[in-house]
Structures are given as structure tokens and as C-alpha cells.
Chains A and B, each alone.
Chain A
Amino acid sequence: MRPHAGAPLSRRRFLSLSAGGAAAGAAALSGCALQVAGAASGGGGESITVMAELNDLGPELIQQAQKELGIRITVVKNDITRLIAMITSGNPPDLVRGLGALDAPYFAARGVAENLDPYFAKSSILKVDDLDPANDLWRYDGKTQGNGPRYGMAKDFSQDAMFWYNTSHFDKAGLAYPSETEPITYEEWLDNAKQLVRRKNGQTTVYGGSYNGLGLGILFTNLTAAAGGSLFSADFSRVDFTTPEARRALAWYVDYAKTRVGPSLIQPNPDAWDGPTYVANRMAMSGNGYWLGGMIYPEPKVAPVSRLAPAPVFEGGPRLSSCQSATGLWMPKKARNKDAAWRVFEWFFGEAPAKARAEGGWGIPTLKSLRPLMPDKEAYQQRVLKTQQAELEHFSVTPFTPYIKWDALEALINQVIPAAMRGEISVDILAGRLNSTVNEQMKRGKEQVG
């Protein structure tokens, strides 16, 4: 029975009307979400959505893209939660920022990343034989990283196990400078850091050195490889921190944290990362690759006394110098505007923005043809460049597992390792706990990948 116009609204009817209103609201909201990509296309020309950091694709670059390509770019902030929401709602960005060294196997194995080989094959801007080997970090053949189809490309890269040092701190401590051609050992690096650190009333005024890698997960992957082993099993479905090589890597890092010569989980850097601390002359050594030069070069006091050294080695271990990030872009399989996205991809990696990045010193260009643009005007830049060019011969891909997201691995290590850093548990107990907690998560990951 329909109530007549003047009849009071019953509570039941009110609630059902509200539910209807809420459903309509939900539909309207999802309509809005669809318009993020769709609205721009109405403005004349094509439009794509890119999930990135604002310093990757700032307003000037967006305007430049519109002018040069006629493509309108909408940037959404890089955020894994938002990415998941966008993928789940069937409306993924057209290009997504990612770390080739860590994200490529994860997204490729889950079938959410587009195989870009057909695009590369047709491109006159991004020729495969011009691609630096660092771009192989974006390749995954279903089993191993470094081979198979390309799922993305790095915007620039560094060999992240290398380290910068400030000669003025070595002079003050009366220490010999590390060689710029021959690697020192990790033990020597730590000895230097212990002598370089400056403290006052328990407060650290100058860090002896910082060596945390891009994150602890990738750091241990690389340190274990540098010790001559592998953190992962042959099929990448498990980790083993108890092998002699992995244990050696763990023990070295725990020693580093325990001696408090540099920032760690139990001694956080108030600046949050090495860059500001190093250029403020409060850090003698910083375990970062060539890209930190982009921050060092504009500092007239620090740049002339800064040198870049090869990646350290473990006594008896191989000389490896891998890239821990290879930050770049990938294209979701369900992207709506793939052709426009590829055009932006080509422009971003091979045209004006790529040239500007190469000249800035914020990383090694990922196209070999752009290498002549790397900064070398000043004597200290030439010195750094020489070290870097020699180090490229030792570049290798250290494969990462597809069965755990890198920040999940990081989170699990973060949960367990502080106790060892404080000396509450031994390295052997730490290794056992890491195996247990990480393998449990990797087992779930393997089940879900299938």
C-alpha cells in the first residue's frame, strides 16, 4: 500500500529510502572515480593517469607533455593502497611508479603488469640495444628476474652498494681514504666508521657511516650475494638466513647497528635519510650510489671533499655491484589508454625529461646513448664519473622473489631485528626467527600466485 502524500513517513520506509540514497551515492561516487581518467579525455586530446611522486612528474613536466605530445597527464600520488583500490575497482592508472629491482617480479607474477616487449619492438625512441643492462631488473620470465619479457623501465639507476665519503672527516680522524678503484672489505668499512664517529654525552654529532641500503630486505639479499650465497632458495619460494653467507651478512649488519656508528632502527636519523645529514657535514660515509651526487654537487662546501668508492666486498666473496631499486614506471594490464601511456612512456624515458635527468646527476641514465650527458664539468665530478664508469663493469642483477612484497619483507625484518641490535638475542636466534616469520608469509604468497 502506498502512503498518501500527507501520511507520516514510517521509520522502516525512511531507512529503506536512506539505503536507496546510499546506494545511489555509492554509484555516484564510483562514477566520479571513473571520471578521473574519463574527464580529461573530454578536454581535447588524449588523457592518461599516472601514479607517481610529484618530483617525478611535476606541473612543469605535465604542461610540457601536453604541449609536446598533446596528452593530458593526471598524476595521482604514489600509494600502494590507492593502487590496490584502483586495480580492484577496475580503474587502474595507465602508468605506475615502481622499483624494478623489487616490484617487477611481484606484479608480473600476479599478472597485473603488461608485457611491454611488443611496444619496445615497435619503438624508434626506446631501442632495445640502447637499453642499459640495469633495465633487465624489469624483466621476469615467470621464474627468475633479469630474463624474459620487459614489464617496465628504469628512469635512472645507481649501484647502490657503493658509498660516498667526505675526506675532511677522514683527515680529522687521521685515516687513509678508501680507494676509488679497488673495493675495501665490509669489515674495513665498519672499522673506519667506528673511528670516524663523533659523540658528545652519548649523543652522536657525526655519524661514522650509514649503510642501510634501500631497505633491509634488499640489503640482506645483496649482502648475502656479496658473501657468495643466495638469500632465496632456487625457486624463490623460501628464504634461508642460516646459511653461512646469509649469517655473515646478518652478523655484519647487526654489528654495524650495535656499535651505533650510523643510523639504524635503534638509532633513527632525525633527518629521516642520509642526504641532508651528509650535506650538513654530519656523516663521514654514506652507503648510497651515484644518484646522491644530485644532492651533493650543488653544495659548494661538501662537493669538493666528497668521493665515491666502489661497493665493498666480503673477504673471499665475489665483487658484485648491483642496483637495489631501478625506479621507473610499469603499465597495468588493465590500463585503459595503453597507446597514449606508451607515448608518454617513450617521452619520459627517451626524450626531454630523460635528458634533463641525465644532466642533473641524480642517477645513471638508463639509455646508453644518454651517458655523455652525465655531469663532468668540475674536477670532483670527473673523479666520481671515472669511479662510476669503472664500477659499471661489475654490475649484476641480484634476483628478488615474487612471493613477498618487498615492504612486507622489510616489515617482518623490522619486527624481529631490533632485539639483536640491542644485543638481547644472538645472530643465530635472529636468523631462525627471520626464517620462520618470512617463510610463513612467502608460503601465503606462493599459494596466491598459484
Chain B
Amino acid sequence: MTVGQIPEAATRPRASARSGSAPSADLPRTSMTARRQRAFYMFTSPWVIGFLLLTVGPMAYALWLSFTTFDGISPNWRYVGLDNYRELLSDPVTWDSLSRAGVFAITSVPLSIVAGLALAVLVNRPLKARGLFRTLLYLPAVVPPVGAGLIFKQLFNRDSGAANGVLDIFGIDAIAWLDDPYARYVILMAVLWAAGNVMIISLAGLQDVPRELHEAARIDGASAWRTFRSITVPLLSPVLLFQAVTGMIASVQTIMPLLIAAEPTPKGVTAIPQTNYMYMMHVFAEYFALGRYGYASALLWVLFVLILIVTGLIFKFTSGVVFYNVDPEAKK
């Protein structure tokens, strides 16, 4: 049975029902359709209920909070309308932290995609111990962010870190890696260290590229670079788009600066070096250090809307360059 047959079968009993006469031959089909729909809804309902309970509910609550001065404890909080939104528009910390998050996303996402893709191309080649390399390169991606933060914090500590230990061998003075202006590079390194995540998705994409296309290009005399540029990358473009979108969303919400902070606590978050004080650090500080639940909720809602807009723009501007390899028959 093809996909195209389903609507035909599904519409007929409805028409019969509307006419008021239900031919007995259609009844099994009706119940089959209903059963299939019920099965669909039963399988999806846990997720939908979870989504309503754990996403829509808290978001609605945060939206309500964003119109108040609620701080969790004090008795005299009140409704302030759009005051929190007005305040954030004129708050230089909001814009500075947002622009830092933007710069971080623009830098880290392409770098990690390129690094991940390069690694994927490497481990897609017929190498000895290929499985071992794949495992080793992917390993950092499964390290929990808290663990990764601790590792980087210890590696780059000024007084006891291995990074300065290496410099010491060459007689070079210690560097305060976790302070400005170097702190931003440590964060970038932490992101690139976990590029195995991007690698594994790109590797799956690479293995889906039909081999005969590469063979045809080689017969036609195309160089390896030309083949990669004209065949591999276009066929991988949906995967790369997916990684760009999810990477962008994750990077503007990164909490890695907090994890490598001298004191990863609510009161310590504001001591994060200026270059790493990104939007989520500002949100975290407003929520948990200053107890400004209303203002922090407004900050989160603005971020949510901005992410929606940027995601929409990415889809719009990449629609002409992303190649979807869809079976034309299935599309009908």
C-alpha cells in the first residue's frame, strides 16, 4: 500500500456518515481508520501532556511573572504591566550580554560545525582502528557539561593548572586564563572540545551520500575538493542546517561560563569575566542572585521570541541553498 492510498480510504466513510447511510461494507474501514488515529494520539499523548505540563505551563507562569515584581518571598509584590519589558530595553547589561551571546553564537556555531564536519570526513575514511577514533572523538560529547566545566577550570587555573604548567616548562610566565581577555577562548575551546556531537551527526549524513555520485564525479575527473564542495556539502546541507539551528539555540543559552566560574553559585555568577558574561548569565543573576523573578522572566521571554525570529530568518535565508533529497513519489 502506498502513502497516497490512505486519504482515499479515510475520506470515504466520512462522506457516508454525512449522508446518513452507512453501508455495511464501509464499517470495518471506519473503525480501522479510527483505530489508527486513536493509536496515533495515544502514542503522542504522553509527549503532548508532558509538553503542556512541563513546557507550556511553566512558560505561561513565567509570562505572568514577567508582569510582576515577584521575588519569591516578599509579601508586597505587585502587577507592573510592561514595566519589566521597558526596563530591559533600557538596561545596558541586557544588550551587552545579548550581543556577547550573539558574537559567541556567530563564532562558536560555524567553528564547531566545521570542526565536526572535518572530523566526520576523517573518520569516514577507511582508516585502521576507525571505530576507536570515532569513540575517542565522540567521548567528550558525552561528558556532562558540569564535568567538562570542572575539567577546564582545573586545566586553566592560573596557579595550579596544566596549561600554565606547560608554559612553565618553557619559562613563560603564568597566564590568568579564566580572567579577561583570555576567558572567552577557554569557553570556545570547551565548545570545540565537544565537537564530537556535531561529528557524529555529520558522519551519519556522510554515510547517506550515495557512493555512485562520488564515483561518477571521479570518472568525470573532479578533484576531491570539488567533489566535496559540489556533491557532499549540498547533500549534507539539511544536516548542516539542522546543526546550525540547534547549535545557535544552544549557544545563546550556554551556561558554560558559569561552570568554569571561580564560584559557580548565584552570588558568584556576576563575577564571571566581562567577556563571558552572556545573556543567560544575566538571566541567572537576576533570578537567583537578585531574586528578581519578574524581570528575569521578562528577559527569558524576550530571548524566546528572539530565538524564534532568528530561527525563522535562518530558514528563510537558507531555503535556496539547502538541498532536500526527497523521493518525488513520496512527496506527491
Residues of chain A at the chain B interface (Cβ within 8 Å): 6-9, 14-15, 17-19, 21-22, 25-26, 29, 80-81, 84, 87-88, 106-107, 110-112, 200-205, 215, 265-268, 270, 272, 405, 407-408, 410-412, 414-415, 418, 441, 444-445, 447-450
Contact = CB atoms under 8 A, between A and B. Distances in A.
Given A268-B262, A448-B69, A411 B74 contact: no
Nearest 5 Cβ contacts at the A-B interface: A268-B262, A84-B72, A448-B74, A411-B289, A202-B174
A21 B45 contact: yes
Contact of B52 (A6, A18, A270, A441): A18
Given A267-B158, A407-B266, A412-B270, 20 more contacts: A6-B30, A6-B31, A9-B41, A19-B52, A22-B52, A110-B73, A110-B74, A111-B75, A112-B73, A203-B159, A266-B179, A268-B178, A270-B157, A408-B291, A411-B270, A414-B270, A415-B285, A418-B273, A449-B74, A449-B75
A15 B31 CA distance: 21
Contacts of A205: 159
A205 to B, nearest CB: 8
Contacts of A215: 267
Interface residues of B, number: 56
Interface string B276-312: 0000000001001111100000000000000000000
B263 interface: yes
Given A84-B73, A408-B290, A26 B57 contact: yes
Interface string B49-87: 110110011000000000001011111110000000000
A415 B290 CA distance: 12
Contacts, number: 139
B174 A268 contact: no
Given A201-B168, A270-B154, A270-B159, A447 B291 contact: no
A203 B164 contact: yes
Main secondary structure of the interface of A (DSSP, over half): helix
A104 to B, nearest CB: 14
Given A6-B30, A88-B72, A412-B270, A268 B172 contact: no
A80 B37 contact: no
Q: Which of A112, A415, A449 has the most CB of B within 10 A?
A: A415
A242 B301 CA distance: 38
B157 A448 contact: no
A110 B164 CA distance: 49
Interface string B107-121: 000000000000000
A415 B174 contact: no
A84 B174 CA distance: 43
Contacts of A15: 48
Interface in B201-221: none
A21 B49 contact: yes
A271 to B, nearest CB: 9
Contacts of A270: 154, 157, 159-161
Contacts of A441: 290
A9 B38 contact: yes
B76 A80 contact: no
B168 A203 contact: yes
B89 interface: no
B213 to A, nearest CB: 41
A408 B289 contact: yes
Contacts of A18: 45, 48-49, 52
A407 B71 CA distance: 14
A202 B285 CA distance: 32
Interface in B4-58: 30-31, 33-34, 37-38, 41, 45, 48-50, 52-53, 56-57
B17 to A, nearest CB: 8
Nearest to B30: A6
